[in-house]
């Protein structure tokens, strides 16, 4: 099958299976709405497409890197709900690489079908950038670990069935050497989830408290005290995911749509040379960034591991482009970008757009939420330290 055949097949599949109101919510590119995510993941799973980056033996479709890119781009631009990245991109690969056969058999099919969605319990009140300082303890008692402590900024903890966590299993030696990687059922007694409402008014973030939570020792991934090694791999994947190229393209297309409708002293904004120059500049930067991403992913798949800190570079560049594109979108909207919509109205009632500017509601909420992109997955300041340490060393 050629790449173009695949693109046509993906388009036809989306046209046949994606309900229009779901596509409308997806095109707003705001917080994912869980019922949509579950519905769409199940549809993709029936087709064998719900784990596009996984090896065939674990249920992946066996696509090349460009084919996976085509699939993800078509889905995103059509407004398909995004498959939960915590399961698919973060913990799934850790389980199939380091997990026991039982863990693979139990968890991988349920990630692919969205029967389980996942939350990432790494950060703590005193362990963010300095993640290795984490203090949530897991003490082995017979066939169980007893977990006590607190996590924070835990995205989707309130709506996820399972958590993958970093816990302290030893205080001997270097702090990195006493951390383990544990899978925890969020229904286990002793877990309390408290919401954190972010600046956009939405609920994605939480604090999670663990009080004598008993977890089967069979839920340890890999070896005890080796969790830091697995987490570093996972975080590199999270940073590559933060390259955000699909979002950039969605944003560019929305900016152009808005500029066709918005007025600048009686002339459509799209005809203003100064505005067009700024759109063109950003589009060039997005295309260059996309070329870098494709090159890096292709090299990784071919087993060529360069010394460059590419996940950090992709993360810094990708997240900053999202914020610049968001700022230009708001500027293009002018006062039409100001209306605030509560998250529940935004998801369920699809409020009327202000006259003349389709799709304006919610753009300001999204703009404010995306300030967090340069914080999560490791702040951009810390990524710059990593880049400097690796590239400027010696
Ligand atoms: C929207 C959102 C979603 C998140 N989701 C999750 C999640 O699902 N699971 C999870 O575990 N965590 C999650 N996080 C947490 C995120 O990973 C942390 O916020 C991040 O690692 C920064 O840690 P911190 O907030 O403790 O800030 P701090 O580490 O306290 O940093 C504060 C400031 O100091 C700067 N700084 C710190 N150290 C250095 C240094 N060495 N050099 C230069 N500057 C430095 C930072 O750049 C930052 O500006 C999320 C965060 C956000 C905002």
Residues of the chain with pLDDT > 70, as a percent, come to 94
What is the C-alpha to C-alpha distance for residues 121 and 118, in angstroms, rounded to an integer? Answer: 10
Torsion of CA 171, 238, 374, 300, to 10 degrees: 120
Q: Say how many Å lie between the CA of residue 120 and the centre of ligand 1.
A: 14
- Establish whether residue 155 lines the binding site of ligand 1, counting it when its CB lies within 6 angstroms of any ligand atom: yes
pLDDT exceeds 70 at position 344? no
Q: Which of 74, 124, 237, 238 is catalytic?
A: 238
Question: DSSP 3-state assignment of 87?
Answer: helix
Which phi and psi angles does 355 have, rounded to 5°?
-55, 135
Nearest CA to ligand 1 atom 17: 376
Which amino acid residue places its CA nearest to atom 25 of ligand 1? 128
Q: Is it the case that residue 241 has pLDDT exceeding 70? A: yes
Domain with residues 118-224, CATH architecture: Beta Barrel (2.40)
With a CB cutoff of 8 Å and minimum separation 6, the contacts of 84 are 32, 37, 41, 114, 117, 118, 156
Distance CA 386, CA 394 (A): 14
Measured in Å, residue 381 CA sits from the centre of ligand 1 at 10
Report whether residue 376 contacts ligand 1, using a CB cutoff of 6 Å: yes
Q: Which of 79, 131, 111, 129 is nearest to 249 (CA)?
A: 79
Nearest CA among 113, 111, 38, 48 for reference residue 80: 38
Beta bridge partners of 233: none
Task: Categorize the per-residue pLDDT at 295 as very low, low, confident or very high, splitting at 50, 70 and 90.
Answer: confident
CA-CA-CA-CA torsion sign (59, 62, 65, 68): negative
CA distances (Å), origin 122, targets 89, 261, 263: 16, 44, 46
Output DSSP code: residue 268: E
Tell me the average pLDDT across 69-82: 92
Give the CATH number of domain 242-391; options: 1.10.10.10, 3.90.950.10, 1.20.140.10, 3.40.640.10. Answer: 1.20.140.10
Distance 257 CA to ligand 1 centre (A): 34
Query: Cα of 80 to ligand 1 centre, how many Å?
Result: 29
CA nearest to 93, candidates 186, 184, 167, 164? 164
- What is the distance between the alpha carbons of residues 113 and 384, in angstroms, rounded to a whole number? 37
Query: Are the CB atoms for 72 and 246 separated by under 8 Å?
Result: yes
Tokens 């990708």: give the residue: 318
**Does 381 sit in the ligand 1 pocket, CB within 6 Å?**
yes
List CB contacts of 26: < 8 A, sequence separation 6 or more: 36, 78, 79, 80, 81, 82
Q: Is residue 85 in contact with ligand 1, taking CB distance under 6 Å?
A: no
How does DSSP classify residue 123?
Answer: -
Q: What region does 133 belong to: left with phi over 0, alpha with psi -120 to 50, or beta?
A: alpha
Q: What band does 394 get if pLDDT is binned at 50, 70 and 90? A: low
204-233 as b/e: b if 16+ CB within 10 A? bbbbbbbeebebeeebbbbebbbbbbbbee
Backbone angles phi, psi at 81, to 5 degrees: -60, 140
The mean pLDDT of 99-107, rounded to a whole number, is 98
> Domain spans of the chain?
3-83, 118-224, 242-391
Active site residue 244: no
For residues 307 and 155, the model is more confident at: 155
Task: Encode pLDDT of 18-33 as tens digits.
Answer: 999 899 888 877 788 8
Cα 154 to averaged position of ligand 1 atoms, centre (Å): 12
pLDDT band at 164, cuts 50/70/90?
Answer: very high
What are the residues whose beta carbons fall under 8 Å from the beta carbon of 197, sequence distance 6 or more?
Answer: 203, 205
Residue 349 binned pLDDT confidence (cut-offs 50, 70, 90) = very low
Atom of ligand 1 nearest to the CA of 380: 47
In which region does residue 232 sit, left (phi positive, over 0), alpha (psi from -120 to 50) or beta (all else)?
alpha
* Atom in ligand 1 nearest the alpha carbon of residue 129: 29
Instruction: Decide if pLDDT at 338 tops 80.
Output: no
* 88: region left, alpha or beta (phi > 0 left; psi from -120 to 50 alpha): alpha
Taking each helix axis from N to C end, the angle separating 310-333 and 380-391, rounded to the nearest 10 degrees, works out to 140
What's the predicted TM-score (pTM) here? 0.93
Token pair 């969790």 in the structure block, residue: 227
Q: CA 103, CA 90: separation in Å to the nearest integer?
A: 15
For ligand 1, atom 16, name the residue with the nearest CA: 376
Per-residue pLDDT of 257-277, as tens digits, reads 899 988 777 889 999 999 999
Query: Distance from CA of residue 329 to its chain's centroid?
Result: 22
């Amino acid at each position: 099958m050629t790449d173009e055949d695949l693109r046509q097949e993906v388009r036809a599949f989306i046209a046949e299976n994606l309900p229009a109101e779901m596509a409308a919510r997806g095109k707003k590119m705001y917080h994912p709405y869980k019922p949509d995510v579950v519905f769409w993941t199940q549809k993709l799973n029936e087709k064998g497409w719900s784990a596009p980056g996984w090896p065939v033996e674990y249920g992946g479709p066996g696509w090349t890197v460009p084919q996976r890119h085509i699939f993800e781009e078509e889905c995103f631009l059509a407004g398909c709900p995004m498959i939960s990245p915590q399961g698919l991109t973060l913990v799934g690969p850790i389980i199939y690489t380091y997990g026991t056969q039982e863990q693979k058999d139990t968890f991988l099919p349920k990630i692919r079908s969205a029967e389980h969605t996942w939350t990432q319990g790494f950060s703590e009140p005193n362990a963010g950038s300095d993640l290795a300082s984490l203090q949530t303890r897991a003490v082995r008692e017979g066939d169980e670990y007893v977990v006590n402590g607190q996590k924070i900024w835990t995205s989707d903890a309130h709506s996820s069935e399972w958590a993958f966590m970093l816990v302290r299993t030893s205080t001997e030696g270097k702090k990195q050497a006493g951390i383990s990687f544990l899978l925890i059922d969020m229904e286990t007694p002793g877990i309390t989830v408290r919401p954190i409402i972010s600046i956009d008014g939405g609920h994605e973030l939480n604090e999670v408290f663990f009080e004598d939570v008993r977890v089967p020792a069979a839920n340890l991934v890999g070896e005890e005290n080796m969790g830091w090694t697995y987490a570093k791999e996972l975080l590199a994947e999270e940073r590559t995911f933060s390259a955000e190229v699909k979002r950039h393209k969605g944003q560019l297309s929305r900016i152009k749509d808005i500029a066709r409708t918005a007025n600048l002293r009686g002339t459509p904004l799209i005809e203003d040379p100064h505005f067009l120059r700024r759109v063109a500049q950003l589009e060039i930067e997005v295309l260059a960034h996309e070329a870098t991403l494709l090159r890096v992913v292709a090299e990784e798949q071919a087993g060529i591991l360069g010394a460059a800190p590419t996940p950090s570079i992709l993360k810094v560049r990708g997240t900053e482009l999202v914020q610049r594109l968001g700022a230009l979108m708001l500027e293009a909207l002018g006062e039409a970008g100001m209306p605030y919509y509560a998250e529940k109205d935004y998801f369920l009632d699809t409020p009327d757009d202000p006259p003349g500017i389709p799709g304006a509601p919610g753009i300001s909420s999204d703009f404010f939420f995306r300030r967090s992109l340069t914080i999560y997955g490791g702040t951009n300041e810390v990524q710059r330290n990593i880049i400097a340490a690796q590239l400027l060393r010696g």
